Amino acid sequence: MQFIDLKSRHQLIGGKINARTQQVMEHGQFILGPEVREVEEKLAQYTGSKHCVTVSSGTDSLLIALMALGIGAGDEVITVPYTWISTAEVISLLGAKPVFVDIRPDTWNMDETLLEVAITEKTKAIMPVSIYGQCPDMDAINEVAKKYNLPVIEDAAQSFGATYKGKKSCNLTTIGSTSFFPSKPLGCYGDGGALFTNNDELAEKFRWIRVHGQVRKHHHPILGINGRMDTLQAAILLEILEVFPDEVQKRENLGQTYSEGLANIEGLETPSIREDNTSVYAQYTILAEQREEMQNYLKEKDIPSVSYYSVPLHLQPVFKNLGHQAGDFSVAEKVANQCLSLPMSPYLTQEDQANVIDAICT
């Protein structure tokens, strides 16, 4: 059994992907070719967002978002300690300070009730993460942001395709940022990412920054990076997008089957999905009090599992300068100590899933 099955989809649509990529090889516009614009239009349409700007990765996407907002030395950006390092890394790369607020014990997303007290005069943005495929309470976060006139960036690297109150992730606030890393819900065949906004000025800045701050040929009024997504990846995404709605449905069904099968087991917590949310289950993650034992036991049965972010960001050596210690963010620490992700992908078979559930239940 594979932890994430990336091969089955290729077996299904590999022929179409080959035909699309062949077209790119023949027209030869490998950088910002027509497929890039085409996929941006489709992605914007899917999320309901006015603009989509594709970029080189989910990390560069966050970096470009912060650069477009003018964030730099001395600024503070509020985010969570339980996430992939990119979220806070980009803040520090720009000389700003990541300010952590703890996560909620139910959804493992930013605890919106702790947000307001973290705001200072230096706060320039709020960056919640839609962890494991589920959005945080964006209305509550947006309300606090509005009160202090702050932009919000949804780090939606794991939640493309999810919904919050019927609206699509990536189109819930000032900026949505996602990743097309292969194992993500909408993954391409290499690195890629995208920015979403309804703000014309921001969208224009994203486009400038992804080509070295170039506004027109050889004219660079602002700093930028080499942040473009390859035309080949855009062509691949165009084909994957055709099957994506079906994959989202499959993910949701698999998530529900896991949660039903693993309900009411002592020492084990299944993910809690808010009533007004749908999750794309980028990972199906449980909390296990005896995590190590469970992981070893699953390994004996040839069932792969992974503990993501088992050291939360405030305890990472690279952020030592922030002066945090164990106990500062107790919910993030508990989740980091107990989280265990089980095999998950739209093509996980019923039989394999039943084996995982049986193994844990017995």
Q: Which stretch binds ligand PLP (CB under 6 A): 6-14, 18-26, 40-48, 153-161?
A: 153-161
Contact flag: residue 79 with ligand PLP (CB under 6 A): no
Nearer to ligand PLP, 82 or 258 (CB): 82
Q: Which stretch binds ligand PLP (CB under 6 A): 27-35, 82-90, 164-172, 217-225?
A: 82-90
Nearer to ligand PLP, 21 or 61 (CB): 61
How many helices and strands in the chain, by DSSP H and E? 10, 13
Going 137 to 333 to 59 to 119, the CA torsion angle's sign is positive
Interface residue with ligand PLP, options 9, 36, 44, 84 (CB under 6 A): 84
3-state secondary structure of 302: coil
Q: Angle 29-32-37 (CA atoms, 0-180°, nearest 5)? A: 115
Contact flag: residue 96 with ligand PLP (CB under 6 A): no
Write down the least CB distance from residue 218 to ligand PLP, Å: 29
Q: Which stretch binds ligand PLP (CB under 6 A): 6-14, 52-60, 97-105, 197-205?
A: 52-60
Write down the least CB distance from residue 231 to ligand PLP, Å: 18
Going 170 to 90 to 78 to 311, the CA torsion angle's sign is positive
Residue 212 makes CB contacts below 8 A (sequence gap 6+) with: 220, 223, 224, 225, 226
Q: Which stretch binds ligand PLP (CB under 6 A): 11-19, 80-88, 196-204, 205-213?
A: 80-88
Closest by Cα among 63, 103, 67 to 87: 63
Residue 325 makes CB contacts below 8 A (sequence gap 6+) with: 315
* Contact between residue 65 and residue 58 where contact means Cβ atoms under 8 Å apart: no
- Residue 75 DSSP symbol: -
Nearer to ligand PLP, 174 or 179 (CB): 179
Q: Which stretch binds ligand PLP (CB under 6 A): 84-92, 202-210, 216-224, 253-261?
A: 84-92
Interface residue with ligand PLP, options 155, 230, 239, 252 (CB under 6 A): 155
Write down the least CB distance from residue 192 to ligand PLP, Å: 7
Contact flag: residue 57 with ligand PLP (CB under 6 A): yes
Contact flag: residue 181 with ligand PLP (CB under 6 A): yes
Contact flag: residue 59 with ligand PLP (CB under 6 A): yes
* Contact between residue 107 and residue 269 where contact means Cβ atoms under 8 Å apart: no
- Residue 179 DSSP symbol: E
Contact flag: residue 58 with ligand PLP (CB under 6 A): yes
Contact flag: residue 189 with ligand PLP (CB under 6 A): no
Write down the least CB distance from residue 357 to ligand PLP, Å: 26
- DSSP per-residue codes, 195-263: EEES-HHHHHHHHHHTBTT-SBTTB-SS---B-PPBHHHHHHHHHHHHHHHHHHHHHHHHHHHHHHHTT
Contact flag: residue 83 with ligand PLP (CB under 6 A): yes
Contact flag: residue 154 with ligand PLP (CB under 6 A): no
Beginning with the edge strand found earlier in the chain, give each strand of the sheet holding 277-278 in spatial order.
167-168, 163-164, 277-278
Contact flag: residue 169 with ligand PLP (CB under 6 A): no
* Contact between residue 109 and residue 154 where contact means Cβ atoms under 8 Å apart: no
Interface residue with ligand PLP, options 47, 49, 79, 87 (CB under 6 A): 87
Residue with the shortest CB distance to ligand PLP: 58
Contact flag: residue 285 with ligand PLP (CB under 6 A): no
Nearer to ligand PLP, 21 or 159 (CB): 159
Q: Using only the alpha carbons of the chain, give its radius of gyration.
A: 20
CA distance 121 to 150: 11
Binding residues vs ligand PLP (CB under 6 A): 57-59, 83-84, 86-87, 129, 155, 157-158, 179, 181, 191, 193
